[in-house]
Amino acid sequence: MSGRARGVLLVLCGAIFLEGIDVAMLNVALPSIRAELGLSTAMLSGVVSAYVLGYGGFMLLGGRAADLYGRRRTFLTWLVVFLVFSGLGGFATEGWTLLLARFVTGVAAAFMTPAGLSIITTSFEEGPKRDKALLFYAGTAAGGFTLGLVIGGLLTRIDWRWVFFTPVLLSAVILLAALWLIKEPVVRERVPRRADFAGAVTVTAAMLLIAYAVVRLEHPGQGWGWTVASFAGGAAALVAFVAIERRLPAPLVRLGILKSGPLVRANASALLFAGSFFGFQFLVTLYLQELRGWSTLETSLALLAVGVDAVLAPTVTPRLVAKFGHTRVIFAGLVLAAGAYALFLPLGLDWTYAAMFPSMITLGLGFALAYGPLTIVATEGIAEDEQGLAGGLLYTAFQFGAALGLSTVTAVNVAALGDGSREAALGGFRAALVVPLVMAVLAAIITGTGRQRGSTKDARLASDEAIPAS
C-alpha cells in the first residue's frame, strides 16, 4: 500500500469516524439540550428523527450520485455541507434550528458516506488489500460510535454545544487532507449522466415516507393513522420507482443489481444486525440511567467494552476472513451477538457491572466479526460504476435497521411497562430485550442459508472438476 493510498484510507476513516461520533455524542447530550432550550419530548424526539429522515431518505440517491457525478466531488461537497450545518446546530437557540440542522446534516451524511465507501472499493483492488482496507474502515466506524458516547459525556459536562462544534473542527481537518490526497479516478467508460428526475423523486419520497413511518412506531400512543398512511405512501412510491426504472435505458438504479444473492443477503443481515445492536444499546442506556440512576459518563464507560471491535476489526478479523471466508466469520459474529443479548435477558434491579460485562465484551467480539465482512460481501463482485449504489444500499439497510430496532424496542418497552413501579419497568426492559435477540437470530439464519448455498455450490464445482472430460 503506497503512502498516498494509506493517506486516502486514513482520510476516509476519519470521515466515517466523524459520522459515528456525531450521532453518538448527540444521543448523550439530549437531556442537557432539552434542559437549556426547554424542548418538549416530541421536539426532542424530532431532533433525533430529523437526522434519520435525512440519512435514510437520501442514502440511495446519494450512493448513485457518487457513481454518476464523481466520488471525490460528491464526498467533498457534502463534507462541506456537513461542516456548516453541524456548526448551525451548535448556535441553535430554538428547536426548529436544531431540527433543520440535523435534517440537513443527515442528508449530507447520506451523500458523503457511500461516496467515501465507493472511493475505497474503487481505489483498492478486490482481494486481500481491499478486504483489509474495508475492515480497518469498518473498525473505525464502530469505534467512532462507541468512543462518541464517552466523548459526548465529557463534552456535555463542559457545554452541550461542543457536541456540535467538535465535528466542525474534525470536518475542517478532514476536508483539508481530502483536498490534497483524494484524486478523482480516470473512468474508462463514462456512465450516462442523463438526469433521471422521476426516479430520483420517487425513490427519495419512498425512503422518506418509510423512514417517517418507522420513526412513528416509537410513539404508538399517537395513533396508527399517519403511520399506516406513511407506510402505504412509501410502498406506492417504491412501486412507481420500480416501474420508472424498468422503462428507462439509463435508470438511476439498475434493478438487476438486486439479483445478486450475496448482496441481498448481506443487506438483509446488515439491517437486522444494526437493528439488534442499536435497540440493545438504547435499552441498556435507559436501564442504567433511568432505572439504576447512573450518570451519563458512567453509562458511556459501561458501554466502552463494546468498542473492543475497533481494535479487533482491523487486526484479528482479516486473518479469520483469510482462513475461514467472509460468510463463516459473519455467521460467527451474529451468533456471538445473539449470545450477548441472551446473557443480558435475566437482568435484575441490582446487577453489578461484572454481571453485565460478559454481554458487553461478547457483543464487541460479535461486532468485530460481523460488521466489516458484511461491508465486504455487500460490495464484492459489483461493477466499479455501481460501487456507490452498492454502498448506498448497504448504508440504507444499516440506517433503516437502526431505526426499526429503536422503534420496535421502544414500542415493546412502553407496552410492557405496567403500573410504573421499578419492578414493572424491569419487566418492560426484559420484554424489549427479546427484540434484539430475535433480530440477531434471524440475521444468523439468513447468513447461514447463504453459507449453506455457498458450500453446496463449492461441492458441486469440485465434483464437476473431478469428472474427467470425455
Q: Find the mean pLDDT for residues 358-382.
A: 91
Q: Which three cell numbers stand for residue 221?
A: 400512543
Contact 262, 450 (CB under 8 A): yes
Q: Find the mean pLDDT for residues 60-89.
A: 90
- In this predicted structure, what is the pLDDT of residue 452? 56
| Residue 212: how many other CB atoms lie within 10 Å | 22
Contact 389, 253 (CB under 8 A): yes
Query: How many whole angstroms separate alpha carbon 13 and alpha carbon 332?
Result: 25
- In this predicted structure, what is the pLDDT of residue 142? 76
Give residues with Cβ within 8 angstroms of 259, minimum separation 6. none
Contact 42, 98 (CB under 8 A): no
| Residue indicated by cell numbers 457525478 | 69
pLDDT in tens, 4-19: 888 999 999 999 999 8
Q: Does domain 256-460 have CATH number 1.10.540.10?
A: no
Q: Find the mean pLDDT for residues 343-351.
A: 91
1-183 and 256-460 have identical folds: yes
Q: Which three cell numbers stand for residue 276?
A: 439488534
Q: Find the mean pLDDT for residues 212-223.
A: 70
Instruction: Flag the least confident range among 230-234, 321-325, 411-415, 429-433.
Output: 411-415
Query: How many whole angstroms separate alpha carbon 307 and alpha carbon 360?
Result: 9
Using DSSP, state whether 101 is helix, strand or coil: helix
Give residues with Cβ within 8 angstroms of 31, minimum separation 6. 296
Q: Which residue in 276, 223, 211 sits closest to 406, CA to CA? A: 276
Q: Find the mean pLDDT for residues 101-110.
A: 92
**CATH number of the domain at 1-183, please?**
1.20.1250.20
- In this predicted structure, what is the pLDDT of residue 193? 54
Please, how many CA atoms are within 13 Å of residue 220, restricted to the half-sphere of its CB? 10
pLDDT in tens, 108-126: 999 999 999 999 988 888 8
- In this predicted structure, what is the pLDDT of residue 438? 97
Q: Average model confidence (pLDDT) for the chain?
A: 84
- In this predicted structure, what is the pLDDT of residue 165? 94
Contact 103, 51 (CB under 8 A): yes
Contact 255, 243 (CB under 8 A): no
Residue 460 has pLDDT above 70, yes or no: no
Query: How many whole angstroms separate alpha carbon 22 and alpha carbon 434?
Result: 28
Q: Which three cell numbers stand for residue 360?
A: 458487553
CA-CA distances (angstroms) from residue 441 to 14, 267, 337, 340, 359? 32, 15, 9, 11, 16
Please, how many CA atoms are within 13 Å of residue 279, restricted to the half-sphere of its CB? 37
Domain boundaries, the chain: 1-183, 197-251, 256-460
Query: How many whole angstroms separate alpha carbon 337 and alpha carbon 329?
Result: 12
Residue 220 has pLDDT above 70, yes or no: no
> At CA 53, angle to CA 39 and CA 18, rounded to 5?
85
Residue burial 135-169, b: 16+ Cβ < 10 Å; e: rest? bbbbbbbbbbbbbbbbbbbebbeeebbbbbbbbbe
Greater model confidence, 339 or 251: 339
462: buried, middle or exposed (CB in 10 Å: 19+, 13-18, 0-12)?
exposed
Contact 89, 106 (CB under 8 A): no
- In this predicted structure, what is the pLDDT of residue 148? 83
Q: Find the mean pLDDT for residues 379-392.
A: 86
Contact 116, 132 (CB under 8 A): no
Which pLDDT band holds residue 186 (cuts at 50, 70, 90)?
low
Greater model confidence, 208 or 356: 356
pLDDT in tens, 321-332: 889 999 999 999
Q: Which ranges constitute the DSSP H helices of 353-421?
A: 353-379, 387-415
Contact 60, 242 (CB under 8 A): no
Phi and psi angles of residue 381, each rounded to the nearest 5 degrees, phi first: 80, 5
Q: Which residue in 52, 55, 40 sits closest to 94, CA to CA? A: 40
Q: Find the mean pLDDT for residues 193-197.
A: 63
Number of separate helices (H) and strands (E) present in the chain: 16, 0
Residue 377 has pLDDT above 50, yes or no: yes
Query: How many whole angstroms separate alpha carbon 211 and alpha carbon 237?
Result: 13
DSSP per residue over 242-295, as a string?
HHHHHH-SS-SS-GGGGG-HHHHHHHHHHHHHHHHHHHHHHHHHHIIIIIS---
Q: Find the mean pLDDT for residues 454-465.
A: 40
